[in-house]
A = this chain, B = another copy of it.
Amino acid sequence: MDDAHVAGPEPRHLPVTDRTTLRRLPRRGSHERETIYRILDEALVCHVGFAVHGQPYVIPTTFGRIEDRLYVHGAAASRMLKTLAGGAAVCVTVTLLDGLVLARSAFHHSMNYRSVVLMGTARLVVDHAERDQALRAIVEHIVPGRSAHTREPNDKELAATSVLCLPIEEGSAKVRTGPPIDDDEDYALPLWAGEIPLRLTPLAPVPDTRLSPELRVPEHVTGWRR
């Protein structure tokens, strides 16, 4: 019996759990996998949260996604990798900033954004085939097409690297779009209001100074967009 026939929450959505119930501005929230995946796939960096003896740490890092699995990697000796591989609860948050929302009132200033918060427990990836796929997915996530133009990891590099998988099972997205929403009586004020849209844009690629001059900039670099 495949997933689509299992009773329970729509597989198209993550379940709404106590800790992923959207309490603040729930109209901006979603538990839909498609929405969550689109935000994850556009982001370059996630912020990984974990606690050690009650002290929270929030560490920025790159990541990749394969279907319903999020992968992060790092030095096997790092505190983050060791803590998460040990089964600590984790929160992974991704934030895309789309614009500054300037209202007439200071109070209604806001931002247009798309964010995802995932929760759960990560597992250390020990299977070599899964590890190799995950490392490739991380490179491809940042620069699609790049992995065909790199020297693959050797055994020494792989031994120094840990890969963690966070199953995408619990979490939510939050999205704000559109103009400022002011109080009715404030619309008459002679104050400019609107949005300053923001984009993350690539500048011209900078070749490594040690690059042999006959190497042309490949398409996956010149065509990089987000």
Binding site for B on A (CB under 8 A): 19, 23-24, 44-45, 47-51, 54-60, 62, 75, 78-79, 89-93, 95, 97, 99-100, 102-107, 109, 111, 113, 115, 117, 119, 135-136, 139, 142-143, 146-147, 149-154, 157, 161, 179-180, 186-187, 189-212, 215-218, 221, 224
Contacts and interface: CB of A to CB of B under 8 A. Distances in A.
A205 to B, nearest CB: 5
Given A194-B205, A197-B203, A197-B205, 20 more contacts: A24-B75, A24-B78, A44-B97, A45-B111, A47-B47, A51-B51, A58-B117, A60-B115, A104-B151, A105-B150, A106-B135, A111-B142, A151-B189, A193-B211, A194-B207, A194-B208, A195-B205, A197-B206, A198-B200, A198-B202
B209 A60 contact: no
A189 B75 CA distance: 25
Contacts of A95: 45, 47, 60
B93 A60 contact: yes
Contact of A54 (B89, B180, B200): B89
B58 A92 contact: yes
A146 B102 contact: yes
A211 to B, nearest CB: 6
Q: Which of A51, A90, A102 has the most CB of B within 10 A?
A: A102
A201 B202 contact: no
A195 B206 contact: yes
Contacts of A216: 192
B60 A56 contact: no
Contacts of A135: 106
Given A62-B111, A89-B54, A142-B109, A149 B44 contact: no
